[in-house]
Amino acid sequence: MVAASSAKDRLKRRLFGNPLPRDQEEARTVPSFQALPILSSDALSSVAYATDAALGVLILAGSGALSFSLPITITIVALIAIVVFSYRQTITAYPQGGGAYVVGRANLGTLASLVAAASLLIDYVLTAAVSLMAGTQALSSLWPWLLNWQVLIALVLLVLVGWANLRGVREAGRLFALPTYAFVVMVMVLAVAGLQNLIFSHGFSPDPPPLVKAVEPLGLFLILRAFSSGCSAMTGIEAIANGVQLFRSPSAQRARNTLLVMGLLLASMFLAVSGLGFMYGVAPNPDVTVMAQLGMRVFGPNTPLLWVLQITTLLILMLAANTAFADFPRLSALLARDNFLPRQMAWVGDRLVFQNGIKLLLVATAGIILICQGNTTVAVNLYAVGVFLAFTLSQAGMVVHWCRERGVGWLTHALMNGIGSTSTCLVLVVIVISKFAEGAWSVVIAIPLLVLLLARTRMRYRQVYAELDLKPGESSLVQVHQRSEPIGNISIVWIPAWNRPTIDALRYAATVSDRVIGVWVRPEDGDPELIRREWQHSVGDDPNLELQILESPFSSLINPFADFVDAIEERDPAQTLTIVMPMAIPRYRADSLLLNQRAINMRAALDQRQNRVFTMVRYYLPA
Amino acid sequence: MVAASSAKDRLKRRLFGNPLPRDQEEARTVPSFQALPILSSDALSSVAYATDAALGVLILAGSGALSFSLPITITIVALIAIVVFSYRQTITAYPQGGGAYVVGRANLGTLASLVAAASLLIDYVLTAAVSLMAGTQALSSLWPWLLNWQVLIALVLLVLVGWANLRGVREAGRLFALPTYAFVVMVMVLAVAGLQNLIFSHGFSPDPPPLVKAVEPLGLFLILRAFSSGCSAMTGIEAIANGVQLFRSPSAQRARNTLLVMGLLLASMFLAVSGLGFMYGVAPNPDVTVMAQLGMRVFGPNTPLLWVLQITTLLILMLAANTAFADFPRLSALLARDNFLPRQMAWVGDRLVFQNGIKLLLVATAGIILICQGNTTVAVNLYAVGVFLAFTLSQAGMVVHWCRERGVGWLTHALMNGIGSTSTCLVLVVIVISKFAEGAWSVVIAIPLLVLLLARTRMRYRQVYAELDLKPGESSLVQVHQRSEPIGNISIVWIPAWNRPTIDALRYAATVSDRVIGVWVRPEDGDPELIRREWQHSVGDDPNLELQILESPFSSLINPFADFVDAIEERDPAQTLTIVMPMAIPRYRADSLLLNQRAINMRAALDQRQNRVFTMVRYYLPA
């Protein structure tokens, strides 16, 4: 039989490309201006939703409260500065890439590293979901008739990103550069044009936002909630520190500079959007994003510039989702290599990507999009917890690192990371408390559960491997039977009906064993005489082949068979016993629902009974 | 090894009860007053949502349009009368039970019967979903804080009903009687108390509803849409005609009378709710049902009578969902016996229920509830199409039946069923047209697709069975090998790693075959020397056992192995070839994600390659 590629194989190649040879996986570096977009689309794109998130909380206290967005933005910008400087130090210390999991494992021990890993895994899922939902909102802000299809659009975008990653996104550099820089430029253009408009027509006096009545009193707690929502602007800052290997030599130096540039871009864009929002009196609107509202006022509705703004926003948000699709599988593979996740998460597929991690992320992200029904606010509430937990742990790990190393200027370094860790920890506490009732509880529960799962998986692996491995000195000799003596094997053949597969199975069993017992369990409407006649006709009176007809008092046909096998096994435990099942393999996969269902159930039942050898004799239906 | 019941078995018994012996399945009859609730909860409970559905459309034309609910209600009551009299005739003709599928198959041919079957299957899913969502609304009308949890509550109720049915609801009679009659009594009490209030305090002048502005113009089309929504009151009328065998002798006579009583109850309850709604000026409210609004005005808010009204509503709606759980699996089993669905839909489980049908309905209903997000209006739009299609076909079948039989008074009978069929067909057309854009399109697409699926399944069964069956005269002799000659079997053993399961598999292979080839495919980080040393140590230099080490140019380890097997098979196609796989079976089911993943992939790949004999040698990890 030739190894003809099946229809399924061909479809797979058409969709995902031909298998790539192993040696095509190589280290790769790119110039800094390409590394910036590859590593920062997540961070920069958060400008598209962070202002909305903060304003969405403030508006609850009425339109007057919207002015609090300014101090909140400034505080977050200060935080961005602290975290950027903290991570510049991480780059110096871990030029091979210092993700929170790696830094935590090296400096804080297994538990802390698992907590960091769990929060990162959750965050990658939320990054993908929030980015895709925000991208959808960028579109529906332009074309309101899309509002009813948000969930569907987000899912379609998700499938697109997932598919690209299953193919393997190799040509990343240029692909990423264009949308990212286009987005940065468009936000700058928006800022400059907006300011110019203000100067010439308004004389710098802010527009009042449309009057909205308060539904909650304005208090410190509400402001902290708004701040927590705005902190979603800070996701993804760590990416450059994780990806130092991508830079050309001297990579650490280049990465540090790039991180600084990224921080400046992020801070100024966030300031621009929030500031303009305040000056133009923009009120948050779940149907039209703040950025789209600004674009409409500054560029005018239905102008090409507005379209470009919104579409580059969509594109950079898709790149942000794509980042999650690179990071999640990579982290899961790291965890799988350490046996914290099933090993198949570390398998590299035909296209040299971690396809199982990608698939898992696809499913999880789709789940979040469906649960949130395309609404980013819910997801943003969950978002910041994991981000800041990872920040805190990674910076704390750095403090331990400096204190251990005691190199030149270690105290300054430790102090700087200490400030980073302390402030992000403080923010973490604020976020957990202020957002707890609005969904953060679920992350607070999910992280320890995930940590438990990771730890238990490794424990189980250790136990299972210990049981599988040969102990030194254990007898491991493979004995070969002598051709002269009976080979000592009984086959029990399950007879579901008298047809070709059954005959095939009986023939095979007769070939490999001394004694064959064919077993037929009578279904409610079965006629034993018929089977006896068929057996007589095909098998005859060979003493080594024997027909056994079993009655079933209950509706299950499987238990009588399994009991019969158990009884034979008990009579002579030393005997090798092979259970032979005829299986008709249909030509079309859809047909498999029609066939072999009893056999599949039987296999499951015998798995439970600890029967050892199970042989399927397959009869292929002609094409 | 003793057939000890596993932990999973024990849990299964705890949840679903012990297996029941086959002979416990018996025909059973109950008195008419018990048969009525068993067969009519679906029909009677629709009073709880039909008025809401009609008013919900009328309100679009402003509060003034609500008065059209009266003529709509009266038309529907007339339709109820027509359908009731039509089905009384079906009972006479089919005292063994005359569902639309049975009547259609006997009188209109396969296609019509499949159309009827498809619409019934879809309707049962919608019945379960609508009833559970309406039951949830009955609760949340009492306690508005439940509004945010509607989807979850509906799903919990669904699981409850599904679980009860997987256990087998044997003791149905009394269980059903109480909530059904309680519901009927409560609606009557509501009607009488409501009328009394009106007479004494209002003097029969209707309250005006709160002023709501029109968002659509009042036109014939809108009224037809409201009528179509109200027609959801007519679901389930056919149930008594399907269940004639449940009645005591003379069963047909009793069933006819019970159907009449049911029709009277349904019509008067529907009139009462719609009429009172009009008199009290009730406007539809998605958060508070019409019945709850009436209860609040008549009994007062937070009164025990109101609670009883709402809770009996919930209970009868759960019974209605339960009816779907009895009918859907029964119809699928009928279809499976005719090979229109996979045969496993006709399997009777340990508890003597069609467990596969129940599970399928569980999943489908959960899907509808999730898609509709707990909102009945969407589902009601889909609902009536299938109901009226089944009505029309079943009555048309009866017309054919009478014309064929030509018994006493056949012309009158045929005329009566003809009127029934024509009027329900007319309503069907109205529903499809007026509701097409609001969701009915999906049913209009789904029914032909389902019919196609049913027809294709039978076609595939016929082809597959023809290929499996032995042709007369075909050589079917089972040959038994001679003990003196080599048994003619090569085993190829897949070696994933050198451990106990592998040794076991090699030992087994040596027992059953003349020649054993152990195959190890080198993973990226594998050391061939190590495997060679282990092999040498355990197997030695037996000429019948041979180690083969394969390199893999791509990341897949499976293709080299499958290619190797193909090559050996091609060299000597007559040779029996057995592929032996070691499988480590973990003690805990959760562990199975950790083990054997390569082997499972391998099985799938070899299925594609048409390799014939596949043996799993299982190594059970010690407990």
Polymer length of chain B: 623
Residue A554 DSSP SS3 = strand
Label residue A363 by pLDDT band (50, 70, 90).
very high
Q: Is residue A622 within 8 angstroms of chain B, CB to CB? A: yes
pLDDT value at position B98?
A: 65
What pLDDT, in 10s, does the model give residues B353-394?
778 889 999 999 998 888 888 788 878 888 888 889 989 998
The 10 Å Cβ neighbour count of residue B64 is 15
Interchain contact, B464 vs A591, CB within 8 Å: yes
Statement: residue A515 has pLDDT above 90: no
Interchain contact, A468 vs B500, CB within 8 Å: yes
Q: Is residue A570 within 8 angstroms of chain B, CB to CB? A: yes
Statement: residue A171 has pLDDT above 70: no
From A202's Cα to the closest Cα of chain B, the distance in A is 39
b or e along A469-497 (b: 16 or more beta carbons within 10 Å of the residue's beta carbon)? ebeeeeebebebbeeeeebebbbbbbbbb
Label residue A502 by pLDDT band (50, 70, 90).
confident
Nearest to B544 among A480, A507, A595 (CB): A480
Q: Please give the Cα distance from B484 to B496 (Å, whole number).
A: 35
Polymer length of chain A: 623
pLDDT value at position B3?
A: 39
Which of A 443-502 lie inside 8 A of B, CB atoms?
Answer: 457, 460-461, 464, 467-470, 476-481, 483, 486-489, 497-501
Q: Please give the Cα distance from A411 to A415 (Å, whole number).
A: 6
Angle of the A251-279 helix axis to the A32-45 helix axis, nearest 10: 40
Interchain contact, A343 vs B597, CB within 8 Å: yes
Interchain contact, A486 vs B489, CB within 8 Å: no
DSSP string, B475-542: --PPP---TTS---EEEEEE-SSSSHHHHHHHHHHHHH-SEEEEEEEPPTT--HHHHHHHHHHHTTT-
Joined together, the tokens standing for residue A84 give 């950027």
Interchain contact, A566 vs B2, CB within 8 Å: yes
Give me the mean pLDDT over the A527-531 stretch: 87
Interchain contact, A22 vs B553, CB within 8 Å: yes
Cβ-Cβ pairs closer than 8 A, A with B, add up to: 247
Is-contact A99 A236, C-beta < 8 A? no
pLDDT value at position B131?
A: 94
Q: Residue B486 carries which DSSP code?
A: -
- Give the full edge-to-edge strand order of the sheet including B613-620: A545-550, A515-521, A489-494, A576-585, A613-620, B613-620, B576-585, B489-494, B515-521, B545-550
The answer to which of A23-32, A281-290, A465-474 has the lowest mean pLDDT is: A23-32
Give the list of residues 6+ apart from residue B427 with CB closer than 8 angstroms, or none. Answer: B79, B228, B231, B388
Chain B residue with Cα closest to A4: B609
What pLDDT, in 10s, does the model give residues A441-463?
888 999 999 999 999 889 888 88
pLDDT value at position B189?
A: 94
- For chain B, which residues score pLDDT lower than 70? 1-9, 12, 15-16, 19-28, 98, 169-173, 202-207, 349-352, 473-488, 555, 589-590, 592-593, 596-597, 607-611, 622-623
3-state helix, strand, coil in chain A (%, to 5): 70, 5, 25
Residue to test with chain B: of A150, A465, A468, most B Cβ within 10 A? A468
User: Nearest Cα to A615, choosing from B612, B84, B387, B125?
Assistant: B612
Give me the mean pLDDT over the A215-227 stretch: 84
Q: Please give the Cα distance from B453 to B463 (Å, whole number).
A: 15
Q: Please give the Cα distance from B17 to B168 (Å, whole number).
A: 9
Strands A613-620 and B613-620: antiparallel
Interchain contact, A512 vs B513, CB within 8 Å: yes
Give the residue carrying structure tokens 């390569």: B598
Q: Please give the Cα distance from B457 to A586 (Å, whole number).
A: 13
Q: Residue B239 carries which DSSP code?
A: H
Q: How far is CA A513 from CA A30, A519, B576, in A?
A: 64, 16, 13
What pLDDT, in 10s, does the model give residues A318-344?
999 988 888 898 889 889 888 898 888
Nearest to A350 among B480, B488, B556 (CB): B556
From A79's Cα to the closest Cα of chain B, the distance in A is 36
What pLDDT, in 10s, does the model give residues A96-153?
776 788 888 888 888 989 999 999 999 999 999 999 999 999 999 988 888 878 888 9
Which of A 497-556 lie inside 8 A of B, CB atoms?
Answer: 497-501, 503, 506-508, 510-514, 524, 537-540, 542, 544-545, 552-556
Q: Please give the Cα distance from A168 to A25 (Å, whole number).
A: 11
Q: Please give the Cα distance from B263 to A518 (Å, whole number).
A: 58
Chain A residue with Cα closest to B613: A617
Is-contact B133 B46, C-beta < 8 A? no
The 10 Å Cβ neighbour count of residue B15 is 10
Nearest to B594 among A342, A483, A487 (CB): A342
Q: Please give the Cα distance from A197 to A191 (Å, whole number).
A: 10
pLDDT value at position A246?
A: 82
User: Nearest Cα to A331, choosing from A390, A395, A402?
Assistant: A390
From A308's Cα to the closest Cα of chain B, the distance in A is 34
Joined together, the tokens standing for residue B70 give 């009266």
Q: Please give the Cα distance from A71 to A240 (Å, whole number).
A: 28
Q: How far is CA A415 from CA A86, A89, A411, in A?
A: 10, 11, 6
Interchain contact, B470 vs A500, CB within 8 Å: yes
Q: Please give the Cα distance from B88 to B80 (Å, whole number).
A: 12
Interchain contact, B508 vs A556, CB within 8 Å: no
Q: Residue A232 carries which DSSP code?
A: G
Q: A545 contacts in B (CB within 8 Å)?
A: 478, 480
Nearest to B538 among A477, A570, A610 (CB): A477
What pLDDT, in 10s, does the model give residues A393-433?
988 999 999 998 888 888 888 998 999 899 999 999 988 98
What is the reported pTM?
Answer: 0.69
Interchain contact, A469 vs B500, CB within 8 Å: yes
Interchain contact, B347 vs A615, CB within 8 Å: no
Joined together, the tokens standing for residue B463 give 């082809």
Q: Please give the Cα distance from B339 to B502 (Å, whole number).
A: 43
- Asked whether this complex has an ipTM greater than 0.90, the answer is no
Residue to test with chain B: of A348, A371, A469, A512, most B Cβ within 10 A? A512
Interchain contact, A486 vs B481, CB within 8 Å: no
Interchain contact, A615 vs B614, CB within 8 Å: yes
Q: Please give the Cα distance from A376 to A53 (Å, whole number).
A: 8
Q: Is residue A597 within 8 angstroms of chain B, CB to CB? A: yes
